[in-house]
Amino acid sequence: MFNVNDVLETISMIAQENLDIRTITMGISLRDCASDSAKIACQKIYDKICRYSQNLVKTGEDIERDFGIPIINKRISVTPIALIAESSDTKDYSVFAKTMEDAAKSVGVNFIGGFSALVHKGYTKGDRLLIKAIPEALSTTERVCSSVNVATTRAGINMDAVREMGLVIKECAEKTKDQDAVACSKLVVFANVPEDNPFMAGAFHGVGEPECVINVGVSGPGVVAHVLKKLKGADLGTVAETIKKTAFKITRMGQLVAQEASSRLNVPFGIVDLSLAPTPAIGDSVAHILEAMGFEKCGAHGTTAALALLNDAVKKGGVMASSYVGGLSGAFIPVSEDAGMIEAAMCGALSIEKLEAMTCVCSVGLDMIAIPGDTPASTISAIIADEAAIGVVNHKTTAVRIIPVPGKKEGDVVEYGGLFGKAPIMRVNPFSSEEFINRGGRIPAPLQSLKN
């Protein structure tokens, strides 16, 4: 028989502390869908996505009911479209985005990721066309997510791509200025991108992945914050130990759901992503975990150290709980999607510079940060370059998902609603980086020895 306290602990994690499975993401390879006719390629893509994922949403709902654990999102990631579209005769890749959108609608998933290109060392013809199509693709679809990898530790940073992504982000913002630049919230610029990430907007199905795979992302900042509140005054060794144990329990749930989904859908289980993913809901905030460790506001000096502890403890606990761990696996610090981060940014405790420092010790990067609409493209590129440098030098994934909201200035607030939350417009350093960004070229891969 069960220990009654164990049963009640699980139930209270779900009912009171917002423990949930954030996403079941089905990765689908589209490598066999290429064709010299864009029309045929799109048909093949549509058919394949629908065929593989037709039961995804229903299976997710069944698991939710059987185990009594909420599964918030069911999503799809596909092979980076640049690789598939490249063989086709068209120069306008937004048709592929429309196909992805149609397929996503048809199977009932809320996001589909993979309108992506990998250009860390240079562009192919297809990469160029795909990046050019991003603003059109993201402004004419709702569910399609896009990502571009501009740097890796082994290849260095492609500064031409960094420069271009600044312009692309500005164009995305301009094309959706009536909706507060919502297109930018579906575009991530990566360094060292993982191939099996289940979280949007950066998910795609990497080239080393199998035909079809199930990846799961868990979420439980509320659970961690709750246990920490009970540890007032305890030393940090105890804090780390407690987070580890909690992360273990949370991840076990993810592992169970991943295995169950994989066997019901008859698709191999890929990975569980250990990330602590916040939502704008009260009690589901990573910032509040950090504050529970002893800060007046997230962003105060010491926050980076606390985040390093949190991130490491989550991984240590999670790794043992799952047979395969992957994706981004860390603590997310998106500003607009985290009630505590929003508060901290609004009262001036949290700046972009502090967030940048925090990304050195956790996944994933400058995420969901709204900035003034008149920020120059070169400054956005420079922000991307800084993040990419952090990722490349420290062998970690970093990313930028930044939203220059047209017509808005520092101190304004943008409401997106739902999981995207609301974003205070943050201050950007007003001094120019233009000459640096205009140089272009590549920053060479960093030395792997003589570490300091």
Partner 1 sequence: MKAVITVLGQDKIGITAAITKVLAETQVNILDISQTIMQNLFTMVMLVDLTKLNCEFSRLGELLEEAGKKLGVEVRLQREEIFTSMHRI
Determine the residue type at 14: I
**Shortest reach from residue 5's CB to partner 1, in Å:** 9
Number of residues that bind partner 1 (CB under 8 A): 21
Nearer to partner 1 among residue 4 and residue 447 (C-beta) = 4
Contact flag: residue 69 with partner 1 (CB under 8 A):
yes
Closest CA to 400 of 98, 193, 237: 193
Find the part of the chain contacting partner 1 (CB under 8 A) among 248-256, 266-274, 342-350, 404-412: 248-256
402-434 CB burial, b ≥16 within 10 A, e <16: bbbbbebeeeeebebeebbbbbbbbbbeeeebe
Residues in contact with 1: Cβ distance below 8 Å, sequence separation at least 6, in sequence order: none
Considering only residues 49 to 68 of the shown chain, the ones binding partner 1 according to CB under 8 A are: 65-68
Find the part of the chain contacting partner 1 (CB under 8 A) among 2-10, 95-103, 110-118, 128-136: 2-10
Nearer to partner 1 among residue 6 and residue 353 (C-beta) = 6
Closest CA to 401 of 114, 182, 155: 182
Cβ burial of 435 (10 Å; 0-12, 13-18, 19+) is exposed
**Shortest reach from residue 320's CB to partner 1, in Å:** 8
Q: How far apart are CA 296 and CA 299, in angstroms?
A: 9
**Shortest reach from residue 9's CB to partner 1, in Å:** 8
**Shortest reach from residue 20's CB to partner 1, in Å:** 13
Q: How far apart are CA 417 and CA 52, in angstroms?
A: 31
Q: For residue 114, what are the CA distances in angstroms to 187, 234, 280?
A: 10, 44, 25
Nearer to partner 1 among residue 189 and residue 256 (C-beta) = 256
Nearer to partner 1 among residue 276 and residue 298 (C-beta) = 276
**Shortest reach from residue 69's CB to partner 1, in Å:** 6
Nearer to partner 1 among residue 62 and residue 160 (C-beta) = 62
Nearer to partner 1 among residue 219 and residue 378 (C-beta) = 219
* DSSP 8-class letter at 188: E
**In angstroms, how far is CA 349 from the centroid of its own chain?**
24
Nearer to partner 1 among residue 3 and residue 448 (C-beta) = 3
Nearer to partner 1 among residue 260 and residue 284 (C-beta) = 260
Helix (H, G, I), strand (E, B) or coil at 233: coil
Q: For residue 268, what are the CA distances in angstroms to 21, 131, 264, 311, 323?
A: 18, 31, 10, 28, 13
Give the CA radius of gyration of the chain: 21
Determine the residue type at 332: F
- The 11-40 contact track toward partner 1, x by CB under 8 A, reads x-----------------------------
Contact flag: residue 4 with partner 1 (CB under 8 A):
yes
Asked if residues 35 and 44 have their Cβ atoms less than 8 Å apart, the reply is: yes
The label of the residue with tokens 């630049």 reads 181
Q: Binding partner 1 by CB under 8 A: which of 2, 208, 237, 435? A: 2
Contact flag: residue 245 with partner 1 (CB under 8 A):
no
Contact flag: residue 205 with partner 1 (CB under 8 A):
no
Q: Binding partner 1 by CB under 8 A: which of 7, 40, 305, 347? A: 7
Find the part of the chain contacting partner 1 (CB under 8 A) among 37-45, 48-56, 175-183, 251-259: 251-259
Nearer to partner 1 among residue 9 and residue 92 (C-beta) = 9
Cβ burial of 10 (10 Å; 0-12, 13-18, 19+) is middle
Contact flag: residue 256 with partner 1 (CB under 8 A):
yes
Residues engaged in binding partner 1 (CB under 8 A): 1-4, 6-11, 65-69, 249, 252-253, 255-256, 260
